[in-house]
Every structure is written in C-alpha cells, then in structure tokens.
Amino acid sequence: MRDDHGVSAQRIGREKEFQQIQICLELGKNLLLEGPVGVGKTFLAAQSAAVLRKEVIRIDGDGRFTEQKLSGWFDPQTVLKKGYVKEAFMKGPLLQAMETGGVFLINELNRLPEGVQNILLSALDEGVVFVPQYGLVQAKDGFGVIATQNPKEFVGATQLSEAILDRFELIRLDYQSETEELQIVHNALKEQKSMKIDEVTGLAVKLARLTREDSRVHRGASIRASLAVAALLSAFLKRGTSLDEAFLQSALMALPTRIEFDPSEGEFDAIQASEVIQDWVNEVLKKKT
C-alpha cells in the first residue's frame, strides 16, 4: 500500500524521537517503534522517511499474512505458459521496498505469524532475501525497516523472538504533552475550517486525557480519538447542534471503539460504557466553566 500516511500534516513536538529515527535511517539501521495505539508511530515513521526522500511501502501485520504475500509469488498462468521465469514473478511489498532502497514500514510486526517474521531476518541484517525458484534478492542501498508494535500488555500482541529483536534499535513513544496535543488538534481543526476552534480543541483533548487517567480504563483514548471527537464536534456545531449536545454525541460516537476498560474491573457492557463516557463529558464541561 502506498499513501502519504498523513505526513502532510505538520509535526508537533517529538523532536528527540524524530532525530533518533533520522539517525537510524541514515545509518541503515532497522527501527522498532513501540507505543500505545494511536500515539503517532506510523505518522512519525512516515514523516521521517519522507524527509529523507525515501519511498515508504507499508504493510499491516496480521495473523493471516503469508510468506508469499510478503516477498512475492509466481503468477500460475504465466508459469504454465513459460515456466518459472522472472517475468512470472509478482513482487511483494518486501521485495519492492528492497529494490527501491526505500523504507519498509511494518505496522504491528508482532502480529505477523512467526514463520513470516523469520523471512525478515536476513533482510534485516544483510539486506538479502532468498525466494525459491526466483533467487537471491539484494536490497539497494538505503533500504531499511521500520516496525511498530503496541506494548505487550495489549490484546492480541505476541512477543517478538530474540532473533528479531536483536536486529532492531528501539524507540518508545508515549502520549505527548497536553500543550502538544492541543496544538495537533488545533491544526487539524484549522484545516477543516472549524467553528469555535479553541473551545472544540480544549474539550476534545481534555476528554481524551481524562480517559487515560481513569483507573477503570485499560487503554485510554489516543490523540487519534481527540482528533475524531474534535472533527465530529465541529461538524455538529456547523449544523447548529448545541455545544453540550454535540460534545456528548461526538464522545459517544468516537470513544467506545477507542477505549478498553480494565477487565479486572468487571465486564463493562455498552450501556455502562456510555454512562462512563457521559460522566466524563459532564466533568469536562464542568471544568470548562
């Protein structure tokens, strides 16, 4: 998949991490970005690559990923006609990135099946991959891998093998400061020509940050959630909905999918979750006045 991964947005903060990523890319080192969902891993990786004018080829790790999907496959029709010739080979994203000397961005590396991770080992340290019937592929200079993963305690995440970890430098990303989050949301709203930008920004960011402080919450709302609340809120306001009502509706739409309650606090059904969200909304609105 090729797109700009939102890199056109202005980067706020993360100077230290940005420099660390640049250094890794310049040295041809592979980089593992670890941090909670929606904290800015993909954005930062894509921006760093763009600054170095490197092409980014991205995959999203999931349990159904196969070796063929990663490195490539032979088109059966052409093989029938011509045999295992080079032109019958459909290059997968790994080979494409290696051949252009670009950045191979693997979102959620830890969700790739272990067998598929193992294929990466030689690409990671020697820049080579062996494809049966096709041969040895050597990466062009500049090729590098940036992988992301959510910390282990999050659902569905497995631990990476020692062999794979040994081939990565690590950068941990945590949530940004309130000032930086306000700036990110503010910029996005300006882009959308939102009404009441300052107020909408304040509400969305306060709400997201409140979810993270709540002990009942296992995974709080990220900057992505703040952006979503802000965009919805702004759209409701444009249609004439009152601020309080618009904020509640936006929160109820944006948060349930983006937060996870702590299982040790018991089961939270949809109704209980809505009640908690409503309490947060009230608290933020109260704080505002």
Ligand X SMILES: Nc1ncnc2c1ncn2[C@@H]1O[C@H](COP(=O)(O)OP(=O)(O)OP(=O)(O)O)[C@@H](O)[C@H]1O
Binding site for Mg ion (CB under 5 A): 41-42, 107
Each residue 32-51 as x (binds ligand X by CB under 6 A) or -, in order, gives ---x-xxxxxxx--------
Of 43 and 73, nearer to Mg ion (C-beta) is 43
Of 21 and 210, nearer to ligand X (C-beta) is 21
Which of the choices Mg ion, ligand X, none does residue 83 contact, using the CB cut-off of 5 to 8 A by kind?
none
Q: How far is the CB of 39 from ligand X (least distance, A)?
A: 4
Of 59 and 229, nearer to Mg ion (C-beta) is 59
Cβ contact 221:42 at 8 Å: no
Each residue 227-246 as x (binds ligand X by CB under 6 A) or -, in order, gives --------------------
- Rounded Cα gap, residues 160 and 150, in angstroms: 11
CA dihedral 13, 16, 18, 20 (to 10 degrees): -170
Q: How far is the CB of 140 from ligand X (least distance, A)?
A: 26
- Rounded Cα gap, residues 182 and 198, in angstroms: 9
14 binds ligand X (CB under 6 A): yes
Q: How far, CA to CA in Å, does 219 sit from each of 72, 117, 272?
A: 36, 27, 16
208 binds ligand X (CB under 6 A): no
Q: How far is the CB of 45 from Mg ion (least distance, A)?
A: 8
Nearest alpha carbon to residue 114 among 180, 178, 159: 159
Residue type at 75?
D
Nearest alpha carbon to residue 254 among 278, 212, 220, 226: 226
Q: How far is the CB of 72 from ligand X (least distance, A)?
A: 25
Residues 6 or more apart from 80 whose CB is under 8 A from it?
A: none
Q: How far is the CB of 201 from ligand X (least distance, A)?
A: 13
DSSP 8-state class, residue 128: E
Where does this chain bind ligand X (CB under 6 A)?
6, 9, 11-14, 35, 37-43, 107, 148, 150, 184, 223-224
